[in-house]
Structure 1
Amino acid sequence: MAALDLLLAHGYDDPSDLQYNDSQAFIENSGDMAGPYILLEKIGEGGVGVVWRAEQTEPVGREAAVKVIKAGMDSREIISCFEEERRVLALMNHPNIASVLDAGTTPGGRLWLAMELVRGEPVTGYCDRRVLGMRERLELFVPVCHAVQHSHQKGVLHRDLKPSNILVTEVDGKPTPKLIDFGIAKALSPAADGSASLLQHTSTGMVSGTPEYMSPEQKGGVQDVDTRSDIYSLGVVLYELLTGRTPLLQGKIKQTSPDGVPRPVRENTARRPNSCFTLATEETAAVAGVRGTPPRRLGRTLRRELEWIVLKALEKDRDRRYASAASLAADITRFLNNEPVTAAPPSKLYRLSKLLQRNRPACMAALCILTVLTAGTVISLLERREAVRQRDTAIAAQATADLALAQAAAALASEARAHEAAQAARDGFGGKDEAEVVLWVHAPAVARLVQIIVQQFSIGDRARDSSPTPVGTWSRRIDNPAPSLGVQGKPPCI
């Protein structure tokens, strides 16, 4: 039976007439019953209800979280919201969303809702306490996006996504995030453009959501709030997971514009995530410490792809955000797998770098093979160059040797001819002394030399010498020395 029907069944003909009075006051305490659940201890409290840890007595014994409306909060609008939460939770069937178990009214007439008890802690506190690195935080955030996508597919907008509504518990030693508190969630209907827009709205002037995490359009101005509002809230949670702070300063978030929207939410652009670690301070060191990364390295990690993803989710213009939570999860998965992300138009060089990172082992093997081939080619070229040099040296040495051999042969031939001439001269002189033969053989050259010397001396001595020996006489004697040697005629030419 629906919670509203249960309330009417307890004697309330018109829920709009419900008013709190002392005669109906019934403050739940530990040990009281809410249907088949025994209330054990308070584990949380909100503006509308109190959450108890309870134990189910029948039909099975198990622990649960029971949310009970506070006394005095039983107006028609609150009851309607409570009924809406029960209805939308009943639509969910996802491992990362806390499931609804039962609903009813307390003996005091207040509505209660039994849900799966999530023994966990907010996602930011869980990550910090276990000093999870950036990769582990992103891997934990992806299922949250899938849970939000599931709620959107069921036609439900959460409207209050924040770390305290994303609890992390461990199942079989594996961290599992759980999305809770659909207290201000609303049903969606298909809009004209195919997106899901909000069917129901809160009363005028009410802020639905937590200011630090709500989108610019969630409060004021825009009436057709759609699923992209939850995308903005996911972006804020992701920003805080990575940097340890929200994009907008909490102290200034209360400054509102005339339409009621926090001024920084509407006017300011989110700081780039890596700029949070530009200055080395105790705060940045502490934030980097719980992430197991030095501040400078953390700042470098938050550049490029991660920065593109976060800032796209935090776009003021919802048309520039991710179209769905699944798209955000897909881009984070691409980043984790070293694939190109869609958050920014990547260049060919960027795509190539991601391809190399994604296939690092194969690329390293190919690089090693290429290095070996290149080294082999270089060595072969050097060896060929040395072989060519040695060949050219050998050819030059052979040519030098051939020239020397030719010169030696020519010298031997000349010596042979000279020997033959000398022999012929000796034969012609009838066995004269060898010195005389040599003198006779070279007589023409000697005669010419003597003639030149005599001419030089005769020029200077002609005036002084009254009876010089005629040059012609010397010439005739030199030209024909044979008679003095007892040989007739001119010497033979060699």
Structure 2
Amino acid sequence: MTTRTHPLRELFEAALALEPSDRPAFLDQHCTDPRQRAQVEALLAADADETEPLPAGAVDRLAEAIGPAKNPETLPAGSRVGPFELIKVLGEGGSSTVFHAVRDSEGATQHVALKLMRRGLYSPEAQRLFGREQRALVQLRHPNIARMIEGGVNESGLPYIALELVSGSTITDFVRTRDLDLRARQRLFSVVCLAVDAAHRALIVHRDLKPSNVLVTEDGEVKLLDFGIAKLLSEDDGENRTQMPAFTPAYAAPEQRDGGAITTATDVYALGVLLGELITGERVNDGSGRTPSSWISTQSGSERSVVVTPIARRHVRGDLDAIVLKALDADPSQRYASAGRLADDIERLLAGRPVSAHPPSGWYRTRKFVLRHKGGVASTVAFLLAIFSALGIALWQARIAREQAHLARSESTRANATLGFITDLLKTASADLPKDQRPTPEALVEEAAKNAREDPDLDPLVRAQLLLTLGEIARSNGDNADAETLINEAVERERKLGIAPSSPEWIAAMVSKGNLLHSTNRSREADALMQALLPDLESVDTEGSVSALMLYGVTRAYAGDAITASTVATRALAKAQRVFGPDSPDAIETATFLGQLCSNLRRYREAESILEETIARWRRLQLPFNEQFARSLFHLAVSRHRLGKLTEVEPLYHEGIALMRSIQDGPFHRLSQGLVGYALFLTETERFDEAQSVLDEALSNDISVYGKDHVSTAIAEDTRGALQLAMQDPATAEASTRSALDVLQRHAKAAGYEPELALAQLHLARIKLAQRNYNEAASLQASSLPEFEHRAGTRGAELADSLCVGGEIALARGDAPAAMAQADRGLTVLQGVEVPPASSEIPCRALRANVLLSQQRHEDALVEMKGAIARLKSTNPEARVAMTGLLLQRSRIERAAGKTADATNSIAEARQLAANPDLLSPEDRTTLQVE
């Protein structure tokens, strides 16, 4: 048996990362040579001597003075490694030196962090393995992971890796210097987990997660460094397998330290160490099994402590303790199944929901359920508050009755009847009952409705109003069938009582019925109902009249009447501010409705302005974070997406989706709006795998809530079809889109979803065009066009898309003049759109370029391509697949023009983007010569 000898530098740096008390045991295991151990201990002592700090590079000099171990000299500035010129050293480690390096390409300068390894790859097999891992890492794309640009082997046989150059501080330094509170730290950590989970789904494990590999920029953006680098360097040759493992012991899982199998659970363990450090300031994986909260009272005050803001033990004790300990379980199978599950528990904790790490118990889940005051309990609370409100009104009415003799008998009877009804109902929810016997919100609604119908002492108007309130609660729970029964019964009772059309009671009943119709795909009926109510709204200043105007604005928008929709919604806001006051919750909520309507009408600048202000006021006034607030976040996300503010979009979707999930456990009818919008954003930014996962959840949610035969489900299905086409899978895309189209053809007209029907037809036309079925493609495109032309004021971008598809079909059939006419008309339409989306403009320009190519007008075609490429670079620079397609189209034009060198350069530039070949069109794959 041979004894392994580890390089001096690796031993020193590995020991330095440990607590001083842990170093002897580490050296006992890894440093059996007495002379080498003395050298390591001398280095550690020198490092601990604060009177003589070590500058960069001093470790090499000190090691050389102490003993024979010597590392290769650092390359000077100006040296070249592959295509890169070294600028300066950024850092040194036991296995590599990191340089700031640059590369000049066609006048553009690319700055990278270049990691140059200290050990070479000399055998063909070692270089093959290195190349294989490198290709996998280049494909890893995530906004929170510093991307690998390329790798290679220099003339000396030393491997190098060029990574995205990130300017920021370690996550522990960031939370300390920004003095972040506990919730902010958890949110930041959740972003880290989601990034790790995305890499795991790409079958890449980090293997060395630690604070120095998790940077946060000045803008608060998380960037993970060195993802998969340890794996990249571990399979180069047999000799390197005997070296020290490429990990930091202080953050390594037990199986990693013991040389066991490396899995995603290894990264979960490191995340647990990091989370413990973020919340306590200490590494809580000393093997004692102590809870993180127990560390807080015994802080050592070490310089690395990240705790500045005092964190109470009570805020960590319980759920956070359980989460960290689950992540740190010695048995990998007992840890979180994925980093995504860990992130999910953090999100659940932030939302006040039960976490999976906590031992299950009825009391625990009940306590969390009640503390949240959302979801089912919120419905119960809303229900009880509504009843108490009715009681308050009744008692007020009784007081007035005492003052007004002619009303005394009727109003007193109404008050007493309402009081008796409430008393009897609350007995059914008595706290004396065992928890598992207390009624659910649904059961309370059912019991209350039964009592409201049967109680002989109830005043008839009180009976109708109670049924209406119960119908609203059933609708908020997603139980539309019961809601419709209760609301219709209430309306009919009020009709028989002869309630005046201008009375608050009748307006409230009509609004409830209109909202139900609109939310169940009967927008036309809701529109007619509100239109009939309109003459009676001007003279009435109540909450119901404000709601009625806003609902009419929405139904007008669905009918394609943008002018009336905007006018009516503005009147609703003015009325709300007059009735309730500008800073009242009702006025602020009405303003968010107006902002959402502007977003639906594609008036994105106005929507952003309104929603930005009202969301800020909502937060400042600490109004309840409910589903209306979440919908406002979604619409603000859409507006900023269309305004090109891509970096500001994702946090809004994350917050809104997390809030919707916290409002109701399980499927929720309001959730899919955010999920589908987020999926569209992910698709456009070419994060296809993430988009697929989000759409899977949206479809599952809609099918559970609505079933398959519903327009909401169809919209999610159609969005999935568009994603599948973008991923070059037209056969699967066709199945998804046809399924959506079948539902929309049956329900779109009644529901006011004609534009969505036309969009599905256009998507299927794109699919048939990709399959070269030009006749069917032309028929579908022609079917979509009239709807977009009818709504050109708000659907101008979709009209341009339809025209562009029509032009592509015409060009495929050999009709270049018709194709040019369609492309030109599409660009003209876009000039009238407030915010012309690049995703519509670029295909029109690419179409014009292809038409010009067919006419041998090569220079004009290249001008169009220049404009298309510049537009994509300025609006969506991460869209590598789209950019690759444009560069390859340019190369074909250049080759046709006889500009062979330019064509070769365009192909080289496209290859450098390293887009997944499977996501390219067949023509582009041919141009790239990818089999």
TM range (shorter): 0.5 to 0.7
Distance 1:227 1:301, change over 3 A: same
Match of 1:175 among 221, 234, 237: 221
5 Å-filtered alignment, 1:327-346, equals: 327-346=341-360
Pair 1:213-2:232 in alignment: no
Contact 1:98 1:178 (8 Å CA) reproduced: yes
Report the equivalent of 1:184.
Answer: 230
Distance (whole Å) between structure 1 residues aligned to residue 304 and residue 246 of structure 2: 33
Shift of residue 36 of structure 1? 3.0
5 Å-filtered alignment, 1:210-289, equals: 210-220=248-258, 222=260, 224-249=261-286, 268-279=287-298, 283=301
Distance (whole Å) between structure 2 residues aligned to residue 216 and residue 351 of structure 1: 32
Match of 2:117 among 51, 55, 69: 69
Shift of residue 75 of structure 1? 6.1
What is the letter of the counterpart of residue 223 of structure 2? Answer: P
Shift of residue 368 of structure 1? 5.8
5 Å-filtered alignment, 1:53-452, equals: 53-59=100-106, 60-70=108-118, 73=120, 83=131, 86-106=134-154, 108-170=156-218, 173-185=219-231, 203=241, 206-220=244-258, 222=260, 224-249=261-286, 268-279=287-298, 283=301, 290=308, 292=309, 294-295=310-311, 298-359=312-373
Distance 1:138 1:229, change over 3 A: same
1:68 is paired with a residue of what secondary structure?
strand
Distance (whole Å) between structure 2 residues aligned to residue 122 and residue 157 of structure 1: 20
What is the letter of the counterpart of residue 90 of structure 2? Answer: I
Distance (whole Å) between structure 2 residues aligned to residue 270 and residue 214 of structure 1: 16
What is the letter of the counterpart of residue 75 of structure 2? Answer: E
Shift of residue 286 of structure 1? 10
Distance (whole Å) between structure 2 residues aligned to residue 148 and residue 37 of structure 1: 29
2:161 is paired with a residue of what secondary structure?
strand
Distance (whole Å) between structure 1 residues aligned to residue 384 and residue 303 of structure 2: 38
Shift of residue 272 of structure 1? 0.4
Contact 2:112 2:164 (8 Å CA) reproduced: yes
Distance 1:51 1:285, change over 3 A: closer
Contact 1:208 1:218 (8 Å CA) reproduced: no
Distance 1:67 1:337, change over 3 A: same
Distance 1:118 1:244, change over 3 A: same
Contact 1:339 1:355 (8 Å CA) reproduced: yes
Distance 1:68 1:287, change over 3 A: closer
Contact 2:102 2:110 (8 Å CA) reproduced: yes
Greater share of strand? 1
Shift of residue 103 of structure 1? 2.6
What is the letter of the counterpart of residue 171 of structure 2? Answer: V
Distance 1:366 1:201, change over 3 A: farther
Q: For residues 413-458 of structure 1, give each alpha carbon's deviation from its aligned partner in whole angstroms, at most 9, with x where no partner exists.
A: xxxxxxxxxxxxxxxxxxxxxxxxxxxxxxxxxxxxxxxxxxxxxx
Distance 1:42 1:226, change over 3 A: same
Shift of residue 369 of structure 1? 5.9
Contact 2:280 2:307 (8 Å CA) reproduced: no
Contact 2:146 2:166 (8 Å CA) reproduced: yes
Shift of residue 241 of structure 1? 1.0
Match of 1:34 among 63, 70, 81: 81
Using the TM superposition, name which of 213-222 and 79-88 deviates more.
Answer: 79-88
Contact 1:144 1:179 (8 Å CA) reproduced: no
Report the equivalent of 1:470.
Answer: none
Distance 1:316 1:374, change over 3 A: farther
Distance (whole Å) between structure 1 residues aligned to residue 329 and residue 111 of structure 2: 41
What is the letter of the counterpart of residue 321 of structure 1? Answer: R
What is the letter of the counterpart of residue 241 of structure 1? Answer: L
Shift of residue 66 of structure 1? 1.0
The RMSD of aligned alpha carbons is 3.8
Contact 2:213 2:226 (8 Å CA) reproduced: yes
Contact 2:278 2:306 (8 Å CA) reproduced: no
2:294 is paired with a residue of what secondary structure?
helix
Distance 1:245 1:282, change over 3 A: closer
TM-score by length of 2: 0.31
Distance 1:132 1:237, change over 3 A: same
Contact 1:48 1:73 (8 Å CA) reproduced: no
2:255 is paired with a residue of what secondary structure?
coil
Contact 1:315 1:321 (8 Å CA) reproduced: yes
Distance (whole Å) between structure 1 residues aligned to residue 158 and residue 304 of structure 2: 45
Shift of residue 329 of structure 1? 1.0
Distance (whole Å) between structure 1 residues aligned to residue 240 and residue 157 of structure 2: 25
Shift of residue 220 of structure 1? 2.5
Using the TM superposition, name which of 52-61 and 351-360 deviates more.
Answer: 351-360
Contact 2:120 2:159 (8 Å CA) reproduced: no
Using the TM superposition, name which of 364-373 and 42-51 deviates more.
Answer: 364-373
Shift of residue 185 of structure 1? 2.4
Shift of residue 132 of structure 1? 1.0
5 Å-filtered alignment, 1:445-464, equals: none
Report the equivalent of 1:468.
Answer: none
What is the letter of the counterpart of residue 315 of structure 1? Answer: D
What is the letter of the counterpart of residue 137 of structure 1? Answer: R
What is the letter of the counterpart of residue 264 of structure 2? Answer: T
2:149 is paired with a residue of what secondary structure?
strand
Distance (whole Å) between structure 1 residues aligned to residue 230 and residue 304 of structure 2: 35
Gapped regions of structure 1 (runs ≥ 5): 1-24, 189-199, 250-267, 384-494
Contact 2:171 2:211 (8 Å CA) reproduced: yes
Distance 1:115 1:205, change over 3 A: closer
- Identity in percent: 35
Distance (whole Å) between structure 2 residues aligned to residue 131 and residue 364 of structure 1: 36
1:57 is paired with a residue of what secondary structure?
strand
Contact 1:156 1:186 (8 Å CA) reproduced: no
Shift of residue 213 of structure 1? 1.0
Shift of residue 332 of structure 1? 0.9
1:184 is paired with a residue of what secondary structure?
helix
Q: For residues 125-153 of structure 1, give each alpha carbon's deviation from its aligned partner in whole angstroms, at most 9, with x where no partner exists.
A: 11111111111111111122122222222
Contact 2:134 2:151 (8 Å CA) reproduced: yes
Distance (whole Å) between structure 2 residues aligned to residue 355 and residue 364 of structure 1: 12
Contact 2:254 2:330 (8 Å CA) reproduced: yes
Rg larger for:
1
Using the TM superposition, name which of 95-104 and 356-365 deviates more.
Answer: 356-365
What is the letter of the counterpart of residue 324 of structure 1? Answer: S
Shift of residue 159 of structure 1? 1.3
2:330 is paired with a residue of what secondary structure?
coil
2:212 is paired with a residue of what secondary structure?
helix
Contact 2:116 2:159 (8 Å CA) reproduced: yes
Shift of residue 201 of structure 1? 12
2:221 is paired with a residue of what secondary structure?
strand
TM-score by length of 1: 0.56
